[in-house]
């Protein structure tokens, strides 16, 4: 295959960021191979003119053979595949988050074996030392603040470990790995319900639902004083591509430096929706660290650029998209419980050929076990004649 036609490989392409990245690469005229464990009907964005590897047999990058097929003839790999979600998900599913290390390891091995020139790893601000995030009025986190290590338990540890793998694959094997630490990405065409949504989408959904129902109340996780920065998806995709094309070898922040409290986030969503809501604070809900913001000194130094979309501008676009999706569900009678965010403990991983027989016919991929996974083989039930759920 000629060098000019070598492929950009995007794993996690059926997800929020992956879908937007595939769209951007297509617009740039690059041939794309999009890979995701989800059945293609469950992808957030699907492009029939790219090569799509979907579902547990073709898109499960925990499987080394899948990774080998995915990187074939690849010029660059964007490794976005991971089990993750908002704070309600990652605080209650640490083992499942940790298992993403299988995907990162196998993708690095496959890329190194295939001599793929460049590799991008999507890390997270959750790698930062928790002791530096105990105050809502936090000093913005700079890249060295990841050490000494005390990251978010589960998800953050996996990301930090995988950062180190990228470094050592570069040092030992010459793979040109790039690592960006994402800070709370949001925007249209992403998760906005079901338990894996992040704060901007959850707040937009709750405001829209409260307005539609006429019950002008909203549930907020924590006391609302915790602070974050939120990066709009267009800035994220542009940052990914600029970092991949750069000579930045160390992990680097990719996030907005606009710090807001969750209460301020709700204020903005209420203004966009033209409504004022009574606030109920759920103090026992997952809330994460007290404060986190992105220090963009390094990315400005290297790229002369940083994410610049204001939260008000980006949230208005996000709100409008979620509102359309919400009313589609209202019309179909599926929007009964959209005022409240949920979180579940102990979501199940995809455990290879030893998957649970009882789960074979459940629509459970959203909790870690994809529909159709058991189609690769029919194991014997643990108990003869056991009912399947």
Q: Supply the DSSP string of 177-238, one letter for each residue.
A: EEEEEE--EE-SSS--SSS---HHHHHHHHHHHHHHHS--EEEEES-S--EEE-EEHHHHHH
Distance from C-alpha of 313 to C-alpha of 198, rounded to nearest angstrom: 18
- For residues 68 and 44, the answer to whether their CB atoms sit within 8 Å is no
Residues belonging to the active site: 155
Distance from C-alpha of 287 to C-alpha of 221, rounded to nearest angstrom: 6
Within 8 A by CB and 6+ apart from 115, the residues are none
Q: Supply the DSSP string of 55-76, one letter for each residue.
A: HHHHS-TTSHHHHHHHHTTEEE
- Please, what is the end-to-end C-alpha distance for the chain in angstroms? 47
């Amino acid at each position: 295959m000629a060098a000019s036609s070598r492929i950009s490989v995007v794993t996690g392409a059926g997800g929020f960021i992956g879908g937007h990245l595939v769209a951007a690469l297509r617009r740039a005229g690059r041939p794309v191979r999009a890979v995701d464990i989800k059945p293609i009907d469950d992808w957030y964005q699907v492009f029939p003119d790219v090569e799509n590897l979907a579902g547990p047999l073709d898109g499960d990058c925990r499987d080394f053979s899948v990774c080998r097929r995915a990187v074939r003839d690849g010029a660059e790999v964007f490794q976005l595949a991971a089990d993750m979600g908002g704070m309600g998900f990652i605080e209650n599913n640490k083992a499942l988050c940790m298992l993403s290390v299988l995907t990162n390891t196998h993708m690095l091995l496959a890329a190194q074996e295939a001599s793929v020139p460049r590799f991008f790893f999507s890390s997270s601000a959750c790698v930062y030392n928790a002791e530096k995030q105990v105050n809502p009025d936090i000093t913005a986190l700079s890249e060295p603040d990841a050490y000494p290590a005390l990251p978010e338990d589960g998800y953050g540890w996996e990301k930090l470990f995988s950062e180190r793998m990228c470094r050592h694959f570069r040092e030992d094997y010459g793979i040109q790995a790039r690592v960006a630490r994402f800070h709370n990405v949001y925007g249209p065409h992403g998760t906005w319900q079901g338990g894996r949504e992040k704060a901007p989408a959850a707040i937009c959904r709750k405001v829209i639902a409260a307005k539609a129902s006429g019950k002008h109340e909203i549930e907020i996780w924590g006391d609302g004083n915790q602070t974050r920065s939120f990066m709009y998806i267009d800035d994220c995709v542009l940052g990914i591509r600029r970092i991949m094309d750069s000579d930045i070898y160390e992990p680097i922040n990719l996030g907005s430096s606009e710090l807001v409290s969750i209460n301020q986030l709700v204020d903005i969503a209420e203004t966009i929706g033209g409504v004022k809501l009574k606030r109920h604070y759920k103090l026992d809900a997952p809330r994460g660290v007290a404060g986190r913001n992105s220090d963009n000194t390094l990315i400005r130094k290297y790229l002369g650029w940083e994410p610049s979309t204001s939260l008000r501008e980006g949230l208005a676009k996000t709100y409008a998209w979620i509102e359309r999706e919400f009313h589609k569900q209202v019309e179909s009678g599926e929007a009964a419980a959209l005022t409240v965010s949920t979180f579940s403990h102990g979501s199940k991983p995809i455990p290879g050929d030893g998957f649970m027989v009882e789960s074979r016919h459940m629509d459970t991929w959203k909790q870690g076990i994809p529909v159709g996974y058991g189609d690769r083989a029919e194991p014997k039930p643990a108990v003869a004649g056991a009912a399947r759920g």
